[in-house]
């Protein structure tokens, strides 16, 4: 069970209604929502000032939460994805043809990470789903790194969960799955 001041059933109801949440990740607070809810994703993009065409990152606590967005993977490939999450690597992976454009933007890939951050992973596991995960900031600003800062910036627009950000100073690396090329370090 995800431990915080909000019961899991209330958190799940908030997400199911299209609510936005803010939560700690490896390097900063993240803003997230149900990736299956187009309105929630569009609201999140509007709050951030981020264009849809860029696509969104999905985080998960385990591979099964990402499987419906990606082309099938072998067990060896699933293990590679899990190991990358422990190093805070986000992979651009071949998306299933039915993966929504509001998630992948103008790409044929979907950005995904199995997070090693204990609270973010526990959150995904408590909700039993992947989450859209973008840094808690307005486009071009520095991301929020504390509960108080995130609450000040987004408290009226997202349910901010208390917790500690990981020790990373930079956002996750982004790596192309097929070529291994690092696109953001």
Domains and CATH numbers, the chain: 8-162+171-184 (3.90.870.10)
Burial class (CB in 10 A: 0-12, 13-18, 19+), 180: exposed
Burial class (CB in 10 A: 0-12, 13-18, 19+), 123: buried
Q: How does residue 77 score in pLDDT terms, banded at 50, 70 and 90?
A: very high
The pLDDT tens digits of the residues spanning 10-37 come to 899 999 999 999 999 999 999 999 999 9
Q: Whole-angstrom Cα distance, residue 99 to residue 97?
A: 6
Task: Give the range among 38-42, 84-88, 96-100, 137-141 with minimum mean pLDDT.
Answer: 84-88
What is the token pair recorded at 31? 């803003």
pLDDT of residue 4 exceeding 70, the answer is no
Residue 1: per-residue pLDDT: 44
Q: Is the dihedral of CA 93, 99, 102, 108 positive or negative?
A: positive
Residue 3: per-residue pLDDT: 53
The pLDDT tens digits of the residues spanning 144-168 come to 999 999 999 999 999 999 999 999 9
Residue 87: per-residue pLDDT: 85
Q: Output the pTM of the full model.
A: 0.93
Residue 5: per-residue pLDDT: 57
Q: How does residue 170 score in pLDDT terms, banded at 50, 70 and 90?
A: confident
């Amino acid at each position: 069970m995800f431990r915080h001041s909000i019961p899991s059933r209330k958190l799940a109801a908030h997400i199911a209604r299209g609510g936005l949440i803010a939560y700690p990740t490896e390097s900063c607070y993240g803003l997230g929502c149900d990736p299956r809810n187009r309105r929630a994703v569009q609201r999140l993009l509007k709050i951030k000032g981020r264009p849809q065409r860029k696509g969104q990152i999905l985080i998960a606590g385990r591979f099964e939460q990402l499987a419906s967005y990606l082309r099938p993977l072998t067990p060896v490939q699933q293990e590679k994805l899990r190991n990358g999450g422990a190093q805070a690597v986000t992979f651009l992976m071949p998306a299933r043809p039915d993966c929504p454009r509001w998630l992948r933007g103008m790409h044929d890939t979907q950005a995904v990470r199995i997070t090693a951050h204990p609270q973010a992973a526990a959150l995904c596991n408590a909700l039993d789903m992947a989450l859209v995960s973008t840094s808690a900031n307005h486009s071009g600003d520095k991301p929020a790194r504390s509960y108080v800062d995130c609450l000040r910036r987004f408290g009226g627009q997202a349910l901010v969960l208390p917790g500690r950000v990981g020790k990373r100073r930079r956002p996750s690396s982004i790596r192309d799955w097929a070529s291994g090329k690092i696109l953001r370090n």
